[in-house]
Amino acid sequence: MDKEKIKYHIRGLLEAIGENPDREGLKETPERVAGMYEEVFEGIGYSNHEIAEMFGKTFEVSETGSQTAVVMKDITVFSYCEHHLALMYDMTVNVAYVPKGKVLGLSKIARICDMASKRLQLQERLGRDIAEIISEATGSEDVGVKITGSHSCMTARGIRNASSKTETRTYCGAFRDKRDLQELLD
């Protein structure tokens, strides 16, 4: 990430909207924004494969005759809409997968969701990215992801519908056809 370019362009943006980037409250804004972008867009620097490797710590489990699903709900993330660079907030992610002889460490599921969200995103793609990463990390094609969130491009501008929420669901493998697996995400 080129923080110097970000600072240069943020200064220009401030000027373009009619602000004085040299006034007291804005003097350090380009530097602060560059630091914030480095943090909130960290995921841009990694492919889904690299995230799966980074957070792919698994534990072996014995396979019994019964099918077990791992479900983690209400993982909080935020991201930025790639269309408006607007905040996607109050986002919760529910993830479920059917283990194939190994399970992910629970914190790794939350870390995967967090890192995948740290990109310019569409909510639909974020769900697919999380499912792809979980699938690679666990070796299971049976993955479901539900994301619910607010988008400031809907709530703070345009139609300004403050109460609207967007829900997306991604179903892979057995989740595509099995309603009982899909219901685990609710």
pLDDT reported for residue 64: 64
Q: How many CB atoms lie within 10 A of CB 136?
A: 18
Specify whether 172 is catalytic.
no
pLDDT reported for residue 61: 86
Write out pLDDT tens, residues 105-146.
999 999 999 999 999 999 999 999 999 999 999 999 999 999
Distance CA 141, CA 132 (A): 9
Of 123, 132, 136, 172, the active-site residue reads 123
Region label for 117, one of left (φ > 0), alpha (ψ between -120 and 50) or beta (otherwise): alpha
pLDDT reported for residue 68: 83
Specify whether 49 is catalytic.
no
pLDDT reported for residue 65: 56
Specify whether 151 is catalytic.
yes
Of 42, 81, 141, 182, the active-site residue reads 81
Q: List per-residue pLDDT tens for the chain, 186 residues long.
A: 999 999 999 999 999 999 999 999 999 999 999 999 999 999 999 999 999 999 999 999 876 655 689 999 999 999 999 999 999 999 999 999 999 989 999 999 999 999 999 999 999 999 999 999 999 999 999 999 999 999 998 899 889 999 999 999 999 999 999 999 999 999
Of 83, 124, 167, 183, the active-site residue reads 83
